[in-house]
Chain A
Amino acid sequence: MSEEIKVSKNRLHGLWALTNRDLKKWYQNPIVFIIGIIQPVLWLALLGKAMNISSIFSSGSLPAMPQELAATFTAQQLQGLSAYFGGLQTQIMTATFNTPDYFSFMAMGMVAFVTVFTTAFVGISVVFDRRLGFMNKVLSTPVSRSVIILSKVVSASMRSVFQAAIVTIIAYLLGLQLGANFTPFSILGIFAIVFLIGFGLSSMFTAITLRTTRMETPQAIFNLVTLPLMFASSAYFPIDKMPDWLQAIANVNPISYTIDAVRRLMIFSDGYGPLVTDFAFVGIFALVVTAICIVLSWRYLNK
């Protein structure tokens, strides 16, 4: 009883313990873990490969030139035309998607997609902890309120990074075409930007579900938020080809910046120019949302 020990008075104590608990629940549950891997495979293989947009623009899609028309060209001219139309596919694709391969474009968008999915589950986990009483126990210990929230956010961000790595590997196996920008350091860059967006998104989902004990709430929010978040971004389609109103949204959507960063690091070939903006935007988003979430946790976790 009288044994004196030094207990940690670090304000962040307990962060790793709680984070690790969440991670353990994830990697020790084979079903959740395997679904987390299979899901991106399905998305990539089905959606990514089915939408074979490049083939639309290939000269094979054009009807053969009518005989009368062809007769008006010399053989040399025909050869030139054929070369022109043959190269058109790459040109249109590159002009539109900044890469000749739509699968690569889409696959790198998918990296952000799985992050949204992964972080959205944080809301459910917060509600579970409340309902099963675990939250009550934690609240009665000297762990600071912000640490309780941060542990959710950190574990979700780490899971997002893992999922992003899986998507990248699968995409590579399915024929991802790396751009001239790619270097081995690009991988680290992806991890960094995904960690940041994961931080921001999971803070957002946590903040929304902080007060509720009902399962339906995070699910409803998930449905409400994920679709617009994905489609009002550059995940499937370049922003500058969107209607103005959608462009306005997509231009402030942090997902767009994440995706741009990922593509720039992996499949684009025109330099790293906007990368700084991407990181700055996503970083500030993460910082602001996390700060809001922590302030809310002080307020709402003390009833």
Chain B
Amino acid sequence: MSQIEDVIKVEGLTKVFNHSLVAVDHINFSVKHGEIFGFLGPNGAGKTTTISMLITVLKPTGGTATVLGNDIAKQSLEVRRSIGVVPQEYTADEDLTGYENILLCADLYGIPRSVSKKRTLELLQLVELTAFKDKRVQTYSGGMRRRLELACGLINRPAVLFLDEPTLGLDVQTRAATWNYVKMLKREFGMTLFLTTHYLEEADALCDRIAIIDHGKIVVIGTPTELKDGLGGDIIKLAIQKEVDITDLISKIEHVKEVKKENDIYIIKSANGEVTAPLIIEALRANGNVVTKLSLTKPTLDEVYLMYTGKSMRDAEESRENVSRQRVAMRRARQ
């Protein structure tokens, strides 16, 4: 199979609900072979809507997209055959066992039983559910269900895997464990992954590249490092014993971009904090100064989010309460 450089290519993709609500607004991006691409945004930003269009469950209002070279509108069947999907909600059948659920998924992909039985057992092993394979899904915990969904999404050995909020509603440990699974999948299968999340640390920990989406628009795309560098780098804060001004001294040190003094605390921006901090300490000691306090902060995506959207993720998350209430109200109205 010839390798397609852009596994996913999206041009002007748009979804308008009920002729008025623009959920996804002319987005453009492409996902390269073998990378983990993350869609980061608060609830209601349009992440699920984007995924639904890419997996051909929802028809776009405008724009085009290809997945593995297949047009999502014209070749939807080919798209569905070649992708794996782990939806936002739990979709397994509660009345069936884990084993039966995965086997059912395999049947839906038309995989012959001779192959699928073996694969199902392998996948159960992979997500560490072998011991529970004959238990009904009703009895599974949240983390186990996630893993089962993950296994279902892998049954057809997809070239691209779509994960919609893979850690939504999981506790911190289970979330971290899920990240490990995702990383392992990429390693083991060399898959391309498209995932959405509203956890900044998740995007940071997992993704090769991130698109920040807000109100249906992509506000910025880049690697986590690029995005953070866009903020001007790491921040070193320090205090010294003596009452002398050392601004000039520090400005000459490698990677330092900016030095400010606020109430005896020096605030230094550096492109590479880990390298700069020891250099500063050394330079000060050579000058007869003693550093009494020092801290190094790496910029987080939270700050990136703030810079590009003008509000912090947390505020956006709070207003999502309203969004979801609105959504419930709308759903009621539609029926």
What residues make up the interface of A, taking CB atoms closer than 8 Å to B? 1, 3, 5-10, 13-14, 16-18, 21, 24-25, 28-29, 132-134, 136-143, 212-214, 217, 302-303
Given contacts A8-B110, A13-B110, contact A214 B57 (CB under 8 A): no
Task: Give the contacting residue for A7; candidates B91, B94, B95, B111; CB below 8 A.
Answer: B111
Q: Please tell me if B278 contacts chain A, counting CB pairs below 8 Å.
A: no
Chain B count of residues within 8 A CB distance of the other chain: 36
For residue B153, give the distance in angstroms from its CB to the closest CB of chain A: 9
For residue B124, give the distance in angstroms from its CB to the closest CB of chain A: 18
For residue B164, give the distance in angstroms from its CB to the closest CB of chain A: 10
For A134, list chain B residues within 8 Å (CB). Answer: 91-93
Given contacts A1-B190, A303-B59, contact A140 B95 (CB under 8 A): no
Given contacts A21-B96, A142-B80, A142-B81, contact A1 B108 (CB under 8 A): no
Q: Please tell me if B115 contacts chain A, counting CB pairs below 8 Å.
A: yes
For B107, list chain A residues within 8 Å (CB). Answer: 13-14, 16-18
> Can you name 16 extra interface pairs (CB under 8 A) apart from A132-B90, A141-B108?
A7-B111, A8-B112, A18-B104, A21-B93, A24-B96, A132-B94, A134-B92, A137-B85, A137-B92, A137-B105, A140-B87, A142-B80, A142-B110, A217-B335, A302-B57, A302-B59
Given contacts A1-B157, A24-B96, contact A140 B80 (CB under 8 A): yes
Determine the distance from Cα of A24 to Cα of B94 in the docked complex, in whole angstroms: 12
Determine the distance from Cα of A132 to Cα of B138 in the docked complex, in whole angstroms: 12
Instruction: State whether A140 touches B110 (Cβ < 8 A).
Output: no
Instruction: State whether A7 touches B109 (Cβ < 8 A).
Output: yes
What residues make up the interface of B, taking CB atoms closer than 8 Å to A? 55-59, 77, 80-81, 83, 85, 87, 89-96, 100, 104-105, 107-112, 115, 152, 156-157, 189-190, 331, 335
Which chain A residue lies CB-closest to B157? A1
Instruction: State whether A142 touches B109 (Cβ < 8 A).
Output: yes
Instruction: State whether A9 touches B91 (Cβ < 8 A).
Output: no
Given contacts A28-B95, A142-B77, A302-B59, contact A136 B89 (CB under 8 A): yes
Instruction: State whether A14 touches B108 (Cβ < 8 A).
Output: yes
For A302, list chain B residues within 8 Å (CB). Answer: 57, 59
Q: Which of A7, A25, A142, A217 has the most CB of B within 10 A?
A: A142
Which chain B residue lies CB-closest to A5? B115
Instruction: State whether B57 touches A212 (Cβ < 8 A).
Output: no
Instruction: State whether B335 touches A17 (Cβ < 8 A).
Output: no
For B96, list chain A residues within 8 Å (CB). Answer: 21, 24-25
Which chain A residue lies CB-closest to B87? A136
Instruction: State whether B59 touches A5 (Cβ < 8 A).
Output: no
Task: Give the contacting residue for B110; candidates A1, A7, A24, A25; CB below 8 A.
Answer: A7
For residue B324, give the distance in angstroms from its CB to the closest CB of chain A: 16
Given contacts A132-B91, A133-B89, A133-B91, contact A21 B104 (CB under 8 A): yes
Instruction: State whether A10 touches B108 (Cβ < 8 A).
Output: no
For A1, list chain B residues within 8 Å (CB). Answer: 157, 189-190
Given contacts A1-B157, A5-B112, A133-B89, contact A140 B335 (CB under 8 A): no
A-B CB proximity, top 4 nearest: A17-B107, A8-B110, A137-B91, A141-B108
Determine the distance from Cα of A139 to Cα of B80 in the docked complex, in whole angstroms: 9
Instruction: State whether A6 touches B112 (Cβ < 8 A).
Output: yes
Instruction: State whether A141 touches B105 (Cβ < 8 A).
Output: yes
For A212, list chain B residues within 8 Å (CB). Answer: 335
For A16, list chain B residues within 8 Å (CB). Answer: 107
Instruction: State whether B112 touches A24 (Cβ < 8 A).
Output: no
For A25, list chain B residues within 8 Å (CB). Answer: 93, 95-96
Instruction: State whether B80 touches A141 (Cβ < 8 A).
Output: yes
Task: Give the contacting residue for B109; candidates A10, A141, A217; CB below 8 A.
Answer: A141
Determine the distance from Cα of A140 to Cα of B86 in the docked complex, in whole angstroms: 10
Determine the distance from Cα of A44 to Cα of B91 in the docked complex, in whole angstroms: 40
Given contacts A1-B189, A17-B104, contact A140 B112 (CB under 8 A): no
Q: Which of B56, B77, B94, B110 has the most CB of A within 10 A?
A: B110
For A17, list chain B residues within 8 Å (CB). Answer: 104, 107-108
For A9, list chain B residues within 8 Å (CB). Answer: 110
Instruction: State whether B85 touches A140 (Cβ < 8 A).
Output: yes
Determine the distance from Cα of A17 to Cα of B115 in the docked complex, in whole angstroms: 15
Task: Give the contacting residue for B81; candidates A7, A10, A14; CB below 8 A.
Answer: A7
For B57, list chain A residues within 8 Å (CB). Answer: 136, 139-140, 302-303
For B112, list chain A residues within 8 Å (CB). Answer: 5-8
Instruction: State whether A214 touches B87 (Cβ < 8 A).
Output: no
For A141, list chain B residues within 8 Å (CB). Answer: 80, 105, 108-109
Which chain B residue lies CB-closest to A214? B335
Determine the distance from Cα of A1 to Cα of B156 in the docked complex, in whole angstroms: 10
Which chain A residue lies CB-closest to B113? A17
Instruction: State whether A303 touches B93 (Cβ < 8 A).
Output: no
Determine the distance from Cα of A133 to Cα of B145 in the docked complex, in whole angstroms: 13
